[in-house]
Amino acid sequence: MSNRLGLTKIVSGGQTGVDRGALDAAIACNVPHGGWCPKDRLAEDGRIAECYQLTELESRDYAARTEQNVIDSDGTLILYFHPLAGGTLLTHQKAKRWRKPLLRVRLDQTLDYERIVAWIAEHELHILNIAGPRGSSHPGLEELTCSIIVKLLRHPGNLPLS
């Protein structure tokens, strides 16, 4: 499925929190999804469910997964609470290293959907990596992320072409 902005796929690593919420939104909106995850589908809550179409790396290293998702996407959207830390900070660093378009959106401030849509259009993104904190750091983060990404995918500027 493509849309006016050209998004064809949502990518994440499948960790609890932002990653999983982004994948759930893609599934809910019938947008193809995928990405890389650690060997054995490792996540902080155990094994990542098979409903998420992720490819396992040969390594259980979260950093390798993070970097591969940055490499294989056209740009990265980071949803986070200030300050950047842990894997979220690593994602930021990898996007800079690979010179990929990067947009950081703070979840503790008013969301500007128009800014996100404009950024996607400006960089002509097709495969969007979405990253942020794991679920244990902020209860309800998966649900919050899912609602944000569903709203983004259903944004008037992002409707499917007829």
Q: pTM higher than 0.85 for the full model?
A: yes
Q: What is the pLDDT of residue 140?
A: 95
**Residue 123 contacts residue 74 (beta carbons within 8 Å):** yes
- Name the phi and psi angles at 36, rounded to 5: -105, 145
Binning the chain into helix, strand and coil, the percentages to the nearest 5 are 40, 20, 40
Q: What is the pLDDT of residue 160?
A: 47
13-56: pLDDT as tens digits:
999 999 999 999 999 999 999 999 999 999 999 999 999 999 99
Neighbour count for residue 105 (Cβ, 10 Å): 17
Contacts 24+ apart (CB under 8 A), 51-60: 51/27, 52/14, 52/20, 52/23, 54/13, 54/14
For 9-158, CATH number?
A: 3.40.50.450
What is the rounded distance in angstroms from the CA atom of residue 10 to the CA atom of residue 27? 9
